[in-house]
Amino acid sequence: MSMLTRRQFVQVGSIAAAGLLAGCGSSGSDAADAAPQAADGEYTVVNEGKLTCISNLFFPPFESMNETTGDPEGFDIDVSKSLAEHLGLEVNWLPSQDFDTLVPTIKNGGKADIAIAGMTITDARQAEVDMSDPYVDSNQSIVVKAGSTETAESLDDASKTIAVQGGTTGADWADENLPNATKKRLSTIIDAMSGVQSGLYDAVVCDLPVSRYQIKMSYSDLEIIEEIPTGEQYGIAISKDNPGLTAAINAALAEMQEDGSMAAIEAEWFGSEL
Ligand code: ARG
Confidence band of 228 (pLDDT split at 50, 70, 90)? very high
Confidence band of 71 (pLDDT split at 50, 70, 90)? very high
pLDDT at residue 12 in the model: 31
**How many of the other CB atoms lie within 10 Å of CB of 257?**
15
Angle, helix 29-39 to helix 243-259, in steps of 10 degrees: 160
Is ligand 1 within 6 A of the CB of residue 56?
Answer: yes
Global pTM value = 0.85
Is ligand 1 within 6 A of the CB of residue 78?
Answer: no
Average pLDDT score over residue span 206-229: 97
pLDDT at residue 76 in the model: 98
Taking only the tens place, the pLDDT of each residue in 123-138 is 999 999 999 999 999 9
pLDDT at residue 271 in the model: 85
Is ligand 1 within 6 A of the CB of residue 213?
Answer: no
Q: Closest ligand 1 atom to the C-alpha of 55?
A: 10
Question: Would you give the DSSP letter of residue 88?
Answer: T
CA 200 → CA 14, 153, 172, 222, distances in Å?
52, 20, 21, 13
Closest residue by Cα to atom 12, ligand 1, is 168
Confidence band of 181 (pLDDT split at 50, 70, 90)? very high
Closest residue by Cα to atom 5, ligand 1, is 168
Domain ranges of the chain: 6-39, 50-137+233-270, 138-232
Taking only the tens place, the pLDDT of each residue in 235-254 is 999 999 999 999 999 999 99
The DSSP bridge pattern shows strands 50-54 and 114-115 to be parallel
Average pLDDT score over residue span 200-209: 98
Q: pLDDT above 90 covers what percent of the chain?
A: 84
Higher pLDDT, 195 or 32: 195
Is the confidence at residue 174, as pLDDT, over 60?
Answer: yes
Is ligand 1 within 6 A of the CB of residue 211?
Answer: no
pLDDT at residue 37 in the model: 38
Q: pLDDT above 70 covers what percent of the chain?
A: 84
Least confident of 29-33, 56-60, 105-109, 158-162: 29-33
What's the CATH code, domain 50-137+233-270? Answer: 3.40.190.10
pLDDT at residue 41 in the model: 65
Is the confidence at residue 142, as pLDDT, over 70?
Answer: yes
CA of 270 to the centre of ligand 1 (A): 17
Same fold yes or no, 50-137+233-270 and 138-232 = yes
With CA atoms as reference, report the closest residue to 91 among 114, 107, 119, 75: 114
CA of 118 to the centre of ligand 1 (A): 5
Is ligand 1 within 6 A of the CB of residue 239?
Answer: no
Is the confidence at residue 234, as pLDDT, over 60?
Answer: yes
Q: Is residue 138 a contact partner of residue 234, using CB atoms and an 8 Å limit?
A: yes
**How many of the other CB atoms lie within 10 Å of CB of 260?**
10
CA of 234 to the centre of ligand 1 (A): 9
CA of 155 to the centre of ligand 1 (A): 22
Give the whole-angstrom CA distance, residue 148 versus residue 73: 33
Alpha helices in 152-270 (DSSP H): 152-155, 169-177, 189-197, 208-217, 243-259, 261-270
Task: Reduce the DSSP state of residue 145 to 3 states and report it.
Answer: strand
Average pLDDT of the chain, as a whole number: 88
pLDDT at residue 91 in the model: 98
Is ligand 1 within 6 A of the CB of residue 117?
Answer: yes
CA of 248 to the centre of ligand 1 (A): 23
Is ligand 1 within 6 A of the CB of residue 63?
Answer: yes
Cα atoms in the 13 Å half-sphere on the side-chain side of 229: 0
What's the CATH code, domain 138-232? Answer: 3.40.190.10
Q: Closest ligand 1 atom to the C-alpha of 167?
A: 12
Is the confidence at residue 100, as pLDDT, over 50?
Answer: yes
